Amino acid sequence: MFSSDPSKRNSFQRCICDGDLVIVYERHDNMKAIKVKMGSDFQNRYGVFKHSDWIGKPFGSKVFSNKGGFVHLLFPTPELWTLVLSHRTQILYLADISFVISYLEIVPGCVVLESGTGSGSLTTSLARAVAPSGHVYTFDFHEQRAALAREDFIMNGLESFITVSVRDIQGEGFPDEFCGVVDSVFLDLPQPWLALPSAARMLKQDGVLCSFSPCIEQVQRSCETLRNNFTDVRTFEVLLRMYEIREGRMEVGRNGGPMLLKPHKKRQHLSSEGECEDEERTTIMVKPCNEARGHTGYLTFARLACT
């Protein structure tokens, strides 16, 4: 995914190697993470793909199955990982993740605490933000979940940026070793207010905390507790609205008569100068998708007050 060795970043030269994790892209809503292994196969409804055919190709290549079907092989990113990971819990998605990372002011070198780890959807983005010199310590009270998350991070080559531990943060608080050395804390807990006193002890002065909660009662109680030793308490909700496009077919009949649904007259002189835009634009319809995620959770941020 990313590493402290800059030569390992994706580039024109970087080709798929035995042992690489690739994202197999069928469609926008159908992707899988696969560990490339010489001799293995990948199978989907379009046929059987040999891993050996993939090795040596650049990321982003189109590869074919025995039946002529194809998929694209993509370089893994935290955004793609969020779309392919196993949902062991509700996960955070792009809109919340991107907002949290920026609002927590996480930059390379930061030390970040997270609880719970959940399915690790946010964790990889936290790791990208602290790399190459920072570290993410993530805690989950569910042993199986923590173990599976750890496996995922290793598979993505992120073990040098992320440490997963089993710990009940609501009950026990964060470990004392982090007292006063942490830049940011992220909480995704059923009773976040229980963890706030510990989080306050861990943070550096002016450090930023975020608590993610689906229910407003959790927010109300957290905000009440936060006002004790935090400032700048603000609560947000972020969502993404998706749009779909299709080739337009709306036309009006002549003579004021009935309206016709005409098929699109396709004019495909796609020059690189963009000269055909006017014709094109009129025939591309765009509208919001009908269904959407209506709510994920409330994001409450606060800064540790300086003493």
Partner 1 sequence: MQDKDYLHPSSEMKDNRSLFDNNTAQSLSSEDIDAMKREGATGDEIVEALIANSSTFEKKTTLSQEKYKVKKQKKYAPKVLLRRPCSRSICEAYFKKYPTRIGSLRFDALCLLLSMANVGAYSDVLVLDMVGGLLTGAVAERLGGTGYVCSTHFGTSRNPIDIVRMFNFSSEVNSRIVQATFTDLCIIRENDCSSFHQDVLKTEGDIKNTKILAESIVPKSSMHVLDESIQETNVSSDRSCISHEIFNAETIGQSSPQTDSNPPIEDDEGMSVSSTTEKSKSPGRQASSELVNSWKERGFSSLIVAAPEIEVGSLVQKLLPLLSYSAPFAIYNHCLQPLAACMHRLQASKMAISLQISEPWLREYQVLPSRTHPHMQMSAFGGYILSGIRICSDACNGSQEN
Cα–Cα distance for residue pair 95/235, rounded to 1 Å: 15
Binding span for a second copy by CB under 8 A among 129-137, 222-230, 275-283, 296-304: 275-283
Q: Is 140 one of the annotated binding-site residues?
A: yes
Amino acid occupying residue 3? S
Under the binding rule (CB under 8 A), the answer on residue 179 touching a second copy is no
Write the DSSP symbol of residue 132.
T
Q: What are phi and psi of 205, to 5 degrees?
A: -60, 140
Under the binding rule (CB under 8 A), the answer on residue 181 touching partner 1 is no
Binding span for partner 1 by CB under 8 A among 35-43, 45-53, 124-132, 178-186: 124-132
Identify the CA nearest to 208 among candidates 133, 141, 129, 265: 129
Q: Is 168 one of the annotated binding-site residues?
A: yes
Decide the pairing of beta strands 111-115 and 182-187. Answer: parallel
Under the binding rule (CB under 8 A), the answer on residue 257 touching partner 1 is yes
Instruction: Give 272's contacts (C-beta < 8 A, 6+ positions apart).
Output: none
Residues contacting a second copy: total by CB under 8 A: 11
Under the binding rule (CB under 8 A), the answer on residue 254 touching a second copy is yes
Under the binding rule (CB under 8 A), the answer on residue 153 touching partner 1 is no
Binding span for a second copy by CB under 8 A among 87-95, 106-114, 175-183, 276-284: 276-284
Choose, by CB under 8 A, the member of 5, 177, 273, 291 that binds a second copy: 273
Binding mask 212-251 for a second copy (x = CB under 8 A): ----x-----------------------------------
Cα–Cα distance for residue pair 44/55, rounded to 1 Å: 19
Choose, by CB under 8 A, the member of 116, 121, 198, 209 that binds partner 1: 116
Cα–Cα distance for residue pair 62/186, rounded to 1 Å: 38
Choose, by CB under 8 A, the member of 19, 180, 197, 253 that binds partner 1: 253
Choose, by CB under 8 A, the member of 39, 68, 263, 274 that binds partner 1: 274
Binding mask 96-115 for partner 1 (x = CB under 8 A): -xxx-xxx-x-xxx------
Q: Binds 177, which of partner 1, a second copy, none (CB < 5 to 8 A, cut-off by type)?
A: none
Under the binding rule (CB under 8 A), the answer on residue 260 touching a second copy is no
The answer to whether residues 44 and 35 touch, using CB atoms and an 8 Å cutoff, is no
At CA 155, angle to CA 150 and CA 159, rounded to 5?
55
Cα–Cα distance for residue pair 194/197, rounded to 1 Å: 7
CB of residue 62 vs a second copy: minimum separation in angstroms?
27
Q: Is the peptide bond before 116 cis (omega within 30 degrees of 0)?
A: yes
Write the DSSP symbol of residue 190.
S
Look at residue 25 and give its three-state secondary structure: strand
Identify the CA nearest to 14 among candidates 45, 58, 52, 53: 58
CB of residue 294 vs partner 1: minimum separation in angstroms?
3
Choose, by CB under 8 A, the member of 282, 285, 292, 293 that binds a second copy: 282
Under the binding rule (CB under 8 A), the answer on residue 56 touching partner 1 is no
Binding span for a second copy by CB under 8 A among 61-69, 75-83, 91-99, 269-277: 269-277
N-terminal to C-terminal alpha carbon distance within the chain: 40
Question: 191 to each of 57, 210, 221, how far by Cα in Å?
Answer: 48, 13, 9
Look at residue 27 and give its three-state secondary structure: strand
Annotated binding site: 119-122, 140, 168, 188
Site residues, a second copy (CB under 8 A): 216, 252, 254-256, 273-274, 277-278, 281-282
